Chains A and B, each alone.
Chain A
Amino acid sequence: MKRTLLIIGGISIICVLAGVWAYFLFFGTPNPDGGVFANFNLGNTDDPSVIIPIEPEPTQPTVNVTSPERLRQLTTQPVAGFAEVQATPDSAPEARYIEAGTGHIYSIDLETGVETRISATTIPLTNAGALTRNGQYALLQSGSGMGSEHVIGIISTTSDELRNFAIPGSITSFTATDDNTFVYTTPFGNGLVARAYDPSTNTVADLFQIPFRDATIAWGSSEAGPHYVHPHTTSRLEGYVYSYTDGVAARERASGYGLSAVGSSAGYIYSEVQDGQYNTYATNNLTDVTNAAPLTIIPEKCVFTEINTTVAICGVSLDEYPNQMPDPWYKGEVRMNDSLWEYSVGGQSASLLVSPENVTGRQLDIIEPQFGVNNKILYFQNKTDQTLWIYEYIVAPTFNSLN
C-alpha cells in the first residue's frame, strides 16, 4: 500500500473521531425515556431483602434537646416507637426511640442531649415498635399487612448488634407495659386473643379474648389493665366500648357512631358523632357519672397520668371538627393543629398547657402520647412527619374551668 493512502486513511479516522467528539460535546446524550414515565423494575418495595445503606452514627444531637423550653423536638427523622428507659432505679432516665425504616435504636441523654445509636442492626421497613422500660428489649414491626413481620430484639450493652428473632403468627396490636412485658393481640378463630410475652423468661400467657377481629385496643400500662377495646372507629358504623381488667370483660356504657375511647382505672374519655356533631364525653368510674367534656377531643390523642388517674393530657385542636370525624383524620385528609391540654375527668375542667404553634411556630398533629418515668416528661409524635417530641409536664396547681 502506498504511503500516501495510509496517511489519508489515518487523517480520515481522526476526522471521524473528532466529529463524534464534537457531536457529544454540543448535543449531549440522547434522552431515551422522554422523562415522563420510567419502569425501574424495582419489584415490590415491600420486599424485605432490600439493602438499606447504614448511615454514619451520629454522636451529637440533631436537635437541641437541652433547650430551656418545656416543649422540644427530640428527633428530625421519623420514629417507629419510643419509651423513656431507666435501666436501674438509681440511673438517670434516657429517651430511646426506634428509627422508622431501619429499625435502628437510639438513646438520648436527656441532660446532655447526646444521642447514641445502641442498635445498628437494620430491620428494613420498620414502621412500629415498642421498648421495655428497663431498656433491654424491643418489639419491632417490619412491613405491613399480610407481609408484616414482628421481631423481638434483645438490646446489647456491649455492642450495637441487636439479637433478634421473629414472633410467629400475625400481630394486630402491641405495646410494652411498665412491668417490662409485651402485650399483643393475634387472630384467634373469628376474634382475637390478647397475650403477654415476658422476654426475660420467654413465656407467653393468655390475657383475654375479643370476640371480633376489627378491634382497636387502648392498652393499659400493665398486663392487668384496664385495657379499653372497641371496634375500629368510623362515623358510619356503631361502636361499643369494652374494658378488660385482670382478664375480666365488662361492657362500658359508651356506644355510638364514630366511637373511640381511651381510659384508666378511674374512667375513660370517649368521642362519638351525635346529631351530626362530633362530641366528647368522660365517664368517671369512681362516681359512675358521664359528663360532656368541655373540649372536643380525639381520644387517641390522650393519655392518662399515672400519678392521678382521673387526669389526662390530650392534644386538642380548637378548630371545628367535620361531622364525619374521625374518618378524615385517619385518612390523613384532615390535619389537626393541636395544643396540649390537661383534662380532669373528676373535676370536668381543662387547662391549657402549651400551644406548640405559639411556642415553636409549628403546627403539630399529636399522636401516641406516652409518659416517662414518674410522669415528668410527656412524649408524643407529630402525625405529619412522625417525629418525636417531648413536653416537660408539671401538674398544674389549679384548673381553669373551660365550659
Chain B
Amino acid sequence: MILLLYGYMRLRVLLAVLAIFLPLTVATAQFDATQFGGTPELAISLSPSNPSPGDLVTASIDDYAGGVYGSEITWRYNNEIVPGAINQRQIQFVAGVAGSNTVVEATLSLPIGGTRTLQETVTPVYMDIIIEPQTRVPDWYAGRALPSLGSQINATVLLNDGSFIDPQSVVYTWRVNNKVIEGGPMRGGNQVAFPTPRGGSVVVSVTATRPTGETIASRAITVGIVLPELSFYEKHALYGMKSSPITASTPLIGSILTLQAEPFFLDTRVYNNPDIAEWEINSVTTDNGSNNPYEITLRSSGGNSSTNVNFHVRSLQQILQGSEESIAINF
C-alpha cells in the first residue's frame, strides 16, 4: 500500500514538472535553428560567398552559440599561419586565380582544453554577365548599344574556373529586378532575352549551381537604361559617313549635302519600322524623297544661308521609343 502511494506521488510530481516545463520546451523549439537547416555550429563564413579571382575576401568565424568565447584562435592560409591574425575573429585575403583551391583554417584552442578546427575552401570562379542590348547603333560605331525602354536585352553568362565551364553542366537562375524569368532555373540556360523594364536602371542577377544544388557563383549587375539619342552625320556618296557628327559650327563644303540621322539606342524593331519618321525643313514637313527614311539631301539656295533641319522618329506603341532633334545647317 505504501509502495502504491509512493508510486502515485511520483506520478503526480512528474506530471506537475511536465506541466510546468513542457510549454517552455515547445516555445523554445519554435526558435530552434534545426528548423532552419541545422544547429548553429561554429563555421567560417566568406564574404563574398562565391568570390571572383582577385576579390578581397573576408573570412569570419560564425559563432552564434558563443563557442569561441575564451578560445585562442590561430588562422592558417593554405596551411601557413597568418601572422598578426592570432585571436582575430576575421581575416582578409585576396582570392587566387580562377579554379585554384585556397584552404582557410581557424584553429580554436578551447579554454576547457582541447582544440577545434574550422575549415573552408575557396575556389574563385569568374562569372561574366555580358549585356547585348538590341538597339540601333551604326555599323561604323565601335561602341556597344545601350538598352532603352521596351527594347530587348540579350544576356549571356560565362563561367570560368581556369577554363570555360560547359553551360550544359550548370543550372542557371536568372532574375530581372528580383523576379525570376524563364519560369525558373534552367540547365544550360546561360543565354536569355528579356524586355527592358521601366525605370532608370534594371538589376540583372544570375545564380549558377551544379545539378546537385551546389552554388558555383552568383552575381548581380545594374544596367542603366537610356533614352534614344539622335545625331546628324554628313554622308558622302563615295566614302560613306563622316566620322564626326554635324554641329552648327561644322563648316560645310559644296552646295549639296546628304544628311544621315542616326538614332542611337533606338529599339531595332522601331528603327526598322518606325511609325513616325519625319523631316522638317524650316518647320515645314518635307518628303525626304528617299527609300531610306533616315536620309535627306539638301541643296543650298546660294549665298550664306542657314536652314533649320528637324528629324523626328518614334513608335506610337511605345512612346518613349523615339527621338527628335534639330540642327542649323550653314552652307
Give me the interface of A with B, judged by CB distance under 8 Å: 33-46, 50, 52, 78, 100-102, 124-125, 127, 144-145, 148, 190, 211-214, 216, 231-234, 236-238, 240, 249, 251, 253, 255, 300, 326-327, 330-333, 335, 383-384, 386
Contact = CB atoms under 8 A, between A and B. Distances in A.
A35 B139 contact: no
B141 A330 contact: yes
A212 B130 contact: yes
A35 B130 contact: no
Interface in B259-291: 264, 281-282, 286-291
Nearest to B307: A36
B298 A384 contact: no
Given A34-B301, A211-B158, A300-B142, A100 B164 contact: no
Interface stretch (B13-21, B37-45, B59-67, B240-248): B240-248
Given A214-B144, A249-B164, A238 B156 contact: no
Interface stretch (B83-91, B174-182, B209-217, B219-227): B219-227
Contacts of B286: 37
Interface centre among B53, B54, B235, B240 (most CB of A within 10 A): B240
Given A37-B299, A333-B245, A253 B53 contact: yes
A52 B237 CA distance: 10
Given A211-B156, A212-B130, A240-B130, A148 B289 contact: no
Give the secondary structure class of A's interface. Answer: loop
Given A45-B237, A145-B138, 14 more contacts: A35-B299, A42-B290, A144-B139, A211-B164, A212-B156, A249-B164, A253-B53, A330-B143, A331-B141, A331-B143, A331-B231, A331-B245, A332-B245, A333-B245
B226 A45 contact: no
Contacts of A384: 243-244
17 contacts: A39-B287, A40-B289, A45-B258, A46-B292, A101-B240, A144-B138, A144-B140, A148-B139, A211-B164, A233-B142, A233-B143, A237-B146, A240-B130, A240-B158, A249-B164, A332-B233, A333-B245
A231 B243 contact: no
A63 B68 CA distance: 81
Give the secondary structure class of B's interface. Answer: strand
B295 interface: yes
A278 to B, nearest CB: 14
B322 to A, nearest CB: 19
Contacts of B69: none
A127 B240 contact: yes
Q: Which 8 A-B pairs have the closest CB atoms?
A: A35-B301, A39-B289, A101-B238, A232-B144, A332-B244, A144-B139, A251-B160, A330-B143
Contact of B144 (A42, A102, A144, A234): A234
A109 B129 CA distance: 49
A12 B272 CA distance: 63
B291 A212 contact: no
B120 interface: no
B149 interface: no
Contacts of B244: 332-333, 335, 384
Nearest to B262: A331
Contacts of B287: 39
Given A36-B282, A231-B132, A101 B307 contact: no
B145 interface: yes
A234 B240 contact: no
